[in-house]
Amino acid sequence: MKKTLLFTVLFLFILAGCSTEKSYPTVSLKDAKQKIDQGAAVIDVRTPEEYAAGHIPNAILVPLQDIQADPKAALQKLDPKQEYIVICRSGNRSKAASEIMWSQGFKSIINTETGMKDWPYDTVTN
């Protein structure tokens, strides 16, 4: 009985380690900035009002509310092969958006640990 249980647990650990399913990474704002400087695009998932008050230069506004309501429509103009940094105000909405984007086939997305409230780099306003 103990051997069978041990074998089963060991087998499950091996299967979990062999999974080819990856997930998106979550990075610091410093690492996100480096990725942006290397060509990653930015998806800002805050509200239009938050975005207008200050956002990363060239960031694309795609509010989380729109992504949740109709992911295909909200994301249709984005290239699933492009590398994207996903950011919000504090990190919660970007995580939710990253999960939805991942499920929609965006495999080069990077979530930020925190968000615009802590962004120490240049921003622009509308």
Give the domains, in start order, of the chain with CATH numbers.
21-118 (3.40.250.10)
Tens-binned pLDDT, residue by residue, of the chain (126 aa): 555 444 443 344 444 444 445 689 999 999 999 999 999 999 999 999 999 999 999 999 999 999 999 999 999 999 999 999 999 999 999 999 999 999 999 999 999 999 999 999 999 998
Q: What is the pLDDT of residue 3?
A: 54
Q: Rounded to two decimals, what is the model's pTM?
A: 0.82
Tokens of 8: 């089963």
Cα–Cα distances in angstroms (integers) from residue 70 to residues 20, 57, 74, 88, in the given order: 28, 26, 6, 19
- What's the pLDDT score for residue 8? 41
Q: What is the model's pLDDT at position 19?
A: 40
CA separation for the pair 56, 72 (Å, rounded):
24
